[in-house]
Every structure is written in C-alpha cells, then in structure tokens.
Amino acid sequence: MALSGKLTKKLVENLGAGRHGDGGGLYLVVDPSGARRWIVRVVVKGQKNKKGAPLRTDFGLGGADIVTINQARDRALEYRRMAKQGLNPRFNAQRDIPTFEEFAQQVHIERMPTWKNAKHGQQWINTLRDYAFPKIGRMPVDSIDQPEVMMCLSPIWTEKHETARRLAQRIKTVLDVARSKGFRSGENPVTAIKDAQALPKVKTKPKHHKAMHWRDVPAFYTDLKTRNAMSANALRFTCLTGSRTSEVLGMRWEEIDFDARLWTCPIERMKTGEVHRVPLTDEMLSIIEPLKALKSDYVFEGQKRHKPLSNMSMLMLLRRMDVEGVTVHGFRSTFRDWASEVASAPREIAEMSLSHRVGSDVERAYARSDLIEKRRALMKRWSMYVAGESGQIVRLA
C-alpha cells in the first residue's frame, strides 16, 4: 500500500518556487529556475548540534522529474527509520543508480540558470537526445565506459565532426557530475578516448562568411541610402557598426545614450557573454534618430507592432538588390580588412570594435578598458569612408 501525504502529482508539477512539505520531513524544493527536487529532514539519534540540541539534517533524494512522489515517500521513510536507529542516511542508505538519460536530464535542469539563453540550453540536451540517448540512454550511468561512448561518437565523428565534438563534451559533463555525486568512479571514458587518440584526426575548414570588398562598400552604401525600407536602415546601421545581426535587430531604445553617443548591447545578445559598447557616429545617429517617432520598443521595428525585424530581412534585401556572393555577417570581415589595410588600426582596437576577445584570460583580467575613445576614432573614420565623405585623417593611436 502506497504511503500518503499532502502533495499530489499535480501539485508536484505545478507548485511555484519554495519549499513545500509533504509530511514526515519530506519536502519538494522548487528553485526559481523551475528545477524540482526532493529532500528529507531527519534527526539522527544521538547527534547534537553545537548548542546540544538534536541535530536536524537535510538529505537529497533526487530530482522530481526522476524520482516520483511515491518513490520519494518510500526513500524518506527509509531515511527516518535509519535515523531512529542512530544510522546516518548519508552513509547507510541504499542508492539507486540512475540511467544515463535520467541523470543527463537532471544535469540539464540543474544548469538551467547558467545557460546563456534558453536556446543554448535546449541545444545542449537536444544533442544528447539525438545521438546518445538512443544508444546509452537506458544504461545505468555507472556502467558506461569507452566502448559505449565510442558507440555514440564513431558514427558521426567525420561526417558531423562539430556535432560529435560537442556531444563528447556533453557526455563528459554528465559523467563528471555523476562521479561527483557518487554514482561513478574512475577516469572519465571521454578523457581516456581523447588521450588514447582512439578517434581519427579530422581536418576542419573554418567557416567564412562571404564578404564585400571594402573598395565596393561606398557605392553599395549610396544605393542603400536611396531605399526607405526598415531593412535598409538596419543594414546601413549594421554595416557602419560592424555588429552582428542579432545584436542590431534586438536593439531597444533604452540601450542608447544619445548624450554620450553610445549604444550598450547587453550580455543577453552578445556572443561573448559580455556587455559591448558601440560608439555612435553622426552617420549612425542620422539613421536611428528619425525612427524614434515610431514610438516602438525596438529601434528597427518589423511588420508587427513592437516586434523587431525578421533575422532574414537584411539578407532578403541584399538579394533584391542583386548583390551576389555577400552575407550580412560578412560586413564584419569587410570592416576588419579595411581597418588593417587602410586605417592601419592596432589589432586590439579593431578586434574590440567587433566585440572579439583579445588576449588570454589573464591578459583580459588586467586589461579592464574597452578602449572606447580609440574605437570611437576608428568608427568615425569608417563611417566617413562608407558614406563617401572626405575628411581629415583621424589618429588612432
């Protein structure tokens, strides 16, 4: 006969953040992230705290997506019985070994607050779902060794090398966490496979976005200025700032300081996971200032009110203009080539203008400045070149 308590399956699935009691020391803990786990609070006979009072101790029973409410009640009862006998459940409780899939799902939930965004978190678990779960998902997490990992990696190692590389990293993470929680022992098989070079070396070609030559940009930009579409405004701004498509299209008015002539792109939209400041030139401001009259949440509003332009809008504009062999992202490469070949800009200034990381972790820890004023001079000169203006040469260093 199953034990009963205050909680129901529906409540377990829908209760908000907090600690929710079931009775008998059993609690469902719901984190702000939505992760749900069971704990049991017991008093181990004979154990006292510093004040001499009975010592109450919490023990984890597993995630609510893995451990059902009845299983949690059974385990809580087992822990209470041991505690009454003076046995510490941490050392005496019988532990069920979860399957690889069960444990991977739990790791995914626990790491939700650390994901850069929801999309990255979903991609993490999707890779395991597609390539690991069908082969090793039902195996106990302590029984997975090199042959089982090879079974997941070998079929896609050469044809989908980047996916396989990420899959290996994610399997390694799951097994490392399992070891830290006492479900495994010994060396991680992913590390052993890498050290033994059990998989063949794969030569990968870097992905290059097709870019317009910097000499062709002024004529292109002149044509672009004749077009009144919002996508043309966004493409002009993208070209001038050297920013990524997602950074520009997601731009909101509160990110812009017109007095300081700065656009601050927040962490959430930055590939580097760091805030990026972009100095605004006269030409950039001439694009966005008239758009304030639309009173939209986004600077570059799409067809739907208070929604940004589609991420395909600028690429489709290039096609309508019959511009062949060029991508929107490629304008970043165009700017970088110009910065080196024409402006002779120092590497760190050009790279920071593109929000690229410069130097090692140690170097970045000491280099606190983002060189904003030097980057402002470079962006001013780039804007003048793109817009076809002839002006004085701006000193960059």
pLDDT tens, residue by residue, 165-181: 999 999 999 999 988 87
Name the segment(s) of the chain with CATH classification 3.30.160.390: 9-92
Classify residue 49 as exposed, middle or buried by CB count within 10 Å of its CB (0-12, 13-18, 19+).
exposed
Q: What pLDDT is attached to residue 394?
A: 44
Please report, rounded to a whole number, the percentage of residues in the chain having pLDDT higher than 90: 51
pLDDT tens, residue by residue, 358-377: 655 544 544 557 889 999 99
Q: What pLDDT is attached to residue 366?
A: 45
The whole-angstrom separation of Cα 166 and Cα 19 is 36
Q: What pLDDT is attached to residue 362?
A: 46
DSSP label at residue 375? H
Q: Which residues pair with 259 in a beta bridge?
A: none
Protein fold of 9-92:
Double Stranded RNA Binding Domain (3.30.160)
DSSP label at residue 291? G
Name the segment(s) of the chain with CATH classification 1.10.443.10: 214-386
Q: Is the pLDDT of residue 206 over 60?
A: no
Greatest CA span in the chain, whole angstroms? 88
For the chain, give the number of residues. 397
Q: Which residues pair with 279 in a beta bridge?
A: 262
Mean local confidence (pLDDT), 376-393: 82
Q: What pLDDT is attached to residue 325?
A: 83
Sheet of strand 276-279: strand arrangement: 256-257, 262-265, 276-279
Please report, rounded to a whole number, the percentage of residues in the chain having pLDDT higher than 70: 90
Q: What pLDDT is attached to residue 210?
A: 82
pTM exceeds 0.75, yes or no: no
Q: Which residues pair with 257 in a beta bridge?
A: 262
Phi, psi of 85 (to 5 degrees): -90, 0
The whole-angstrom separation of Cα 83 and Cα 25 is 12
Mean local confidence (pLDDT), 329-333: 93
Q: Is the pLDDT of residue 381 over 70?
A: yes
Q: Is the pLDDT of residue 356 over 70?
A: yes
Q: What pLDDT is attached to residue 190?
A: 94
The band of 90, judged by pLDDT with boundaries at 50, 70 and 90, is low
Q: Which residue has the higher pLDDT, 326 or 63?
A: 326
Q: What pLDDT is attached to residue 94?
A: 61
Q: What pLDDT is attached to residue 46?
A: 79
The answer to which of 127-131, 215-219, 321-325 has the lowest mean pLDDT is: 321-325
Mean local confidence (pLDDT), 141-148: 90
Q: With contact defined as beta carbons under 8 Å apart, do 387 and 283 qualify?
A: yes
Q: Is the pLDDT of residue 393 over 60?
A: no
Name the segment(s) of the chain with CATH classification 1.10.150.130: 100-195
Q: What pLDDT is attached to residue 244?
A: 93
Protein fold of 100-195:
DNA polymerase; domain 1 (1.10.150)
pLDDT tens, residue by residue, 235-261: 999 999 999 999 999 999 999 999 999
Domain 214-386 -> CATH class? mainly alpha
The whole-angstrom separation of Cα 321 and Cα 292 is 27
* 52 Cβ neighbours under 8 A, 6+ residues apart: none
pLDDT tens, residue by residue, 19-61: 999 998 999 988 887 878 888 898 888 777 777 777 778 877 8
The whole-angstrom separation of Cα 310 and Cα 113 is 27
Q: What pLDDT is attached to residue 181?
A: 77
Q: What pLDDT is attached to residue 136?
A: 93
The whole-angstrom separation of Cα 139 and Cα 64 is 20
Mean local confidence (pLDDT), 330-353: 93
Q: Which residue has the higher pLDDT, 337 or 88?
A: 337
Phi, psi of 265 (to 5 degrees): -85, 125
The answer to which of 57-61, 302-306, 329-333, 349-353 has the lowest mean pLDDT is: 57-61
Q: Is the pLDDT of residue 227 over 50?
A: yes
Mean pLDDT, all residues of the chain: 86
